[in-house]
Chains A and B, each alone.
Chain A
Amino acid sequence: MKKTVLAFIIILVGMFLFLSLIDTSDYVAGKKLWRGNKRFVEIARDPNVVPKQEFENLADSYTTILADYPDSQFVPLIKFQIGKLLTLKGSYGEARKSFAEIAEQYAGNSDMCTRALLYVGMTYEKEARGKEAIKIYKKIMSAYPRTDIGLRMPMLIMRYYKRAGDKGEALKAYLDAVAFYTKIHEENHDNVYGFRALNILSQAYLNQKNWEKAVDVLARMLIEYSSLKFVDYRKVYNIIKTINTVSLTHLKNYDRPKAIYTEFLEENPQHPIKRVLSEMIVAIDELKGNQDLPEGATDNVR
């Protein structure tokens, strides 16, 4: 029996060691990257109190992973981490160089490229060189409009000017953003970017407290993209919630959401959310009824 138990231990330990040693997969690279990223998060908490040597050590770890696993799927991620580390360290020029290299190396990959350019812009912002940052953001906007980051650029520019206190430029950026998203929606009506453009446009209107236009855009999102191809239930409920909140709280208009939901139900009589919208219409009617009653009318009811 003792020999059998010993054999079990030898088999288990032997198998573990053997499989660990022969593993040359991305798993090991991912493990080292995870450890590096953990140290990165600790440094990022307060980079000002971290000794310079820590930055060097972490940068060396990342470089070693790159050298040991040059074909790993994590290579772009590691390069980004090196750039972000340089940004935290305050070496903005070197960070920009690093991000620019990524943008050049992955020119065919729009997601990677836009992300690298975004970080370049952010380093300019950190150096208080806003004009260069805006130039980069506009470059992303024009060259890569059909990417997640490209779509966010007009809002980013608007927020930059707001933070800087430049109301004139902020208003101009807001108008440019409206034109941009309207154009993107017209050109991409049948795909997800059309929906996303409307989504961000509604946020821009809400940001500017332009309630009427916000509700109009939200209505279009609900009706034009009712097929749930790009929109899951959670997004639909968020759209409905926003329409209700804005219409009832800010516009004090009970008929507008009713008209939106009625139009939706007429165009989509078998839609999965028809019951929710029907109940919503009834609830809005009840709310409106309570609002229309003269003061004191319900006293006897109490």
Chain B
Amino acid sequence: MNTTRKQVCMSNTEFRKHPIQLSRSAFNELFQSPAIFFPFSVLAFVQLLILEIFFFAPRFPLSGFFGPIINKFAGSKYLIYPNNYILLDRWFNHWSVQGIVFVFLGSFFIGVAILIINSINNEGQINLPAIYKETWQRYVHLWCAALTVFSVIFFFSFLYGLIYKRALLIRSTSGGFFFIKQLVMQGAPLYQLLIALFSLAVFAYIFPIIILEKRGFFSALVLNFKMLWSSFICILLVVIIPALLYIPLLLLKINGKLFVNVWAPEGWGMLMVCLILVTMFIDAWQYTAITTCYILDRESR
């Protein structure tokens, strides 16, 4: 058994009481076995590539293709500095872009990451070609799982959008209603983060079950809820703890106007790159912790 896991728990049944220790052991495991970062670095590369393409979209030579699209769907002002950074943020964070990356690529590389973590935990060799082959065989089920997670995030985000639109109609400038309005509107990025974290926690075990137990999507979904029934709070904490790293950058993003008015607009682009890199680290940490929880939970059954 991996020594970090030995350090974490006295027994496999006690892990649910030690989410912080679990998280810490996952963090240590990341640095002891940096191979875990590899699949997430591929995802980060794809995200950075997309960001770069969108960044150069209003500029020659990509403007030859993107220029008319930007003109038609956004307006010609976004072809000009520094408005292109607003468009960059809007396009990059659009649900369709992030959805396609997560569902088509994220599902595959999360599967790869889980197999790598499992290999490390079993103190076996990491054989990437074999891992890719094994993940590819489960790809359809992983794809369905990723689509389900994304659909849940999208649904709750849509609900939040309705609440946000309703908050916009509040005309009070002081008092309780104004406070509610500010709470709903100012915290938008934080609420989006909480929705994503909650959705991830609710479907935490689905990827490990599909990959490690080689189950189909529907039986993995049922088993996920059965296993989570007793350890949901632990999983939720294990998912939230790494995500705390995201909060300072999110606060910077909320105060984005500072970049344009006080610093240089390039700071906005740098912030987006930092967010991608931090997300890579957080994802690696979360899935290491989730996979460890899953393995301990499975052994306790």
Contacts and interface: CB of A to CB of B under 8 A. Distances in A.
Contact of A12 (B42, B45, B56): B45
A67 interface: no
Nearest to B38: A1
B49 interface: yes
A166 B172 CA distance: 45
A295 interface: no
Query: Is the contact region of chain B dominated by helix, strand, or loop, or is it mixed?
Result: helix
A4 B63 CA distance: 30
B20 interface: no
A233 interface: no
Contact of B52 (A15, A22, A24, A25): A15
Contacts of A24: 60
A4 B38 contact: yes
A16 B52 contact: yes
A230 interface: no
B59 A25 contact: yes
A1 B56 contact: no
A25 B45 contact: no
Contacts of A1: 35, 38, 128
A12 B42 CA distance: 12
Chain B contact patch, size range: 20 to 34
Chain A contact patch, size range: 10 to 19
Query: Is the contact region of chain A dominated by helix, strand, or loop, or is it mixed?
Result: helix
Interface in B70-96: 79-82, 84
Contacts of B48: 12
A15 B49 CA distance: 9
Contact of A19 (B42, B49, B56, B79): B56
Contact of A27 (B35, B52, B84, B128): B84
A8 interface: yes
Contact of B63 (A5, A12, A25, A30): A25
Contacts of B58: 27
Contacts of B128: 1
Contacts of A16: 52
A264 B139 CA distance: 65
B124 interface: no
B60 A22 contact: yes
A19 B49 CA distance: 13
A46 interface: no
A31 interface: yes
A31 B35 contact: no
B249 to A, nearest CB: 20
A253 B56 CA distance: 61
B81 A31 contact: yes
A8 B42 CA distance: 8
A19 B35 contact: no
Contact of B81 (A11, A12, A22, A30): A30
Interface of A: 1, 4-5, 8, 11-12, 15-16, 19, 22-27, 30-31, 34
Interface of B: 35, 38, 41-42, 45, 48-49, 52, 56, 58-63, 79-82, 84, 128
25 contacts: A1-B35, A5-B41, A8-B42, A8-B45, A12-B45, A12-B52, A15-B52, A19-B52, A19-B56, A19-B61, A19-B62, A22-B60, A22-B61, A23-B56, A23-B60, A25-B59, A25-B60, A26-B79, A26-B80, A27-B60, A27-B63, A27-B81, A27-B84, A31-B81, A34-B82
